[in-house]
Amino acid sequence: MKLWKRTIAIFLSTLFITAMPISANALEETSITAPSAVLMEPETGKVLFEKNAHEIRACASITKVMTLLLVFEAIDSNKLSMDETVTASAHAASMGGSDIWLEEGETMTVDEMIKATVVASANDAAVALAEHLCGTEEEFVAKMNQRAKELGMKDTTFKNCNGLDEEGHLTSAYDVALMSKELIKHKDIFKYTGIWMDYLRDGKTQLVNTNKLLKSYNGITGLKTGTTGDAGSCITATATRGNLSLIGVVLGSTSGKERFTDAATILDYGFANYSMYTPKTPDGAVTDIQVVGGMQGTVKTAVNETTPILIKKGEEKGITEKLNLPESIDAPIKKGDKVGSVEYTLDKKKIAESPITADGDVEQMTFWSVFSVIFSNLLTSR
């Protein structure tokens, strides 16, 4: 009887342990089933976790992150508008895989083509957008590679704009994180990546998002999935909790379920272990500083809004602030001129600095300015 009870206890204990999530502080490469993964904080670009981050791999429809980046950059520079009409060419309509079955000559707005590209991962819509912007897909792909080079994506070569398997069409998890980081600077992308279900063609064509984390992960905001024979199952997942945003990239998973599990695991690790800390402004940062050679003797200071700092949770207790402010400054001074700084240190290492600026103008004292003041005072005294 005792042996039976002990056996049951051991079984239940084992079941409990295996059901528990992996310790947030002990995420190892082996915890991720995919061959390649990266976790990045987008404001700083700091990599918080990586597994074969620079391994050269196919990435399927994750390619569309760069396609969408060029589209949104064109919109922001007024070279393209959301209500502009896009006409599908025979080449665009010939795409296989995920698509919205565009027919040659069919028209949709830029807004609709973006929606199809993001939500349904439509290969034909991506090509239609590319051709509309650059005339041909080839010219658009050349711009994709140029932009990749500008972003420091050293592992990447694009051969098409939609991610269909093609020899030499390759990237890495790190490079995917870089272009994802750039795309999400265009906040309107989230109007599309957050859509679970929508329609085109007056309700005749249903779109369902390929990113199943939208239904299961707390804080998920996007971004793009991809699956092909060469690439396996891939995802670049973006999520935000509080003031911390993260990008989790997973390439080469053997199934869609595994890619979503891996993405959730690395995002969980990031949210459990890191935070964005807004440093405090020390007393004395806002004050009056003596001005040498100025038309007035002092100028008030101002502290610019401090940019939040990425830290490990708990490290905020060890952050110290050091005020660097001179006793006096020389005229002339313009409002906004840097006159000092607040330096933030953790473990004797500088981690951030906030400038202290002048909160007003002070003209330099000259002979004529002195004469003008004296003459004005004489007239006033009369």
Any idea which residues carry the catalytic annotation? 61, 64, 121
- Say if residues 170 and 58 touch (Cβ distance below 8 Å): yes
With residue 154 as reference, give the H or E element that holds it.
none
What CA–CA distance (Å, rounded) separates 226 from 197?
18
**Torsion-angle region of 269 (φ positive above 0: left; ψ -120 to 50: alpha; else: beta):** alpha
User: Which tokens belong to 68?
Assistant: 């969408």
Please give the Cα distance from 258 to 227 (Å, whole number).
Answer: 12
Residues 382, 377: Cα–Cα separation, whole Å: 9
Provide the CB-side half-sphere exposure for 233 (13 A, CA).
Answer: 16
**Residues listed for the chain:** 382
Helix crossing, 64-76 with 123-134: angle to 10°? 40
With contact defined as beta carbons under 8 Å apart, do 66 and 148 qualify? yes
Residue 251: beta bridge partners?
Answer: 36
Element (H, E) at 69: helix 64-76
Asked if 322 contacts 357 with a C-beta cutoff of 8 angstroms, the reply is no
Whole-angstrom distance, CA of residue 20 vs CA of residue 31: 13
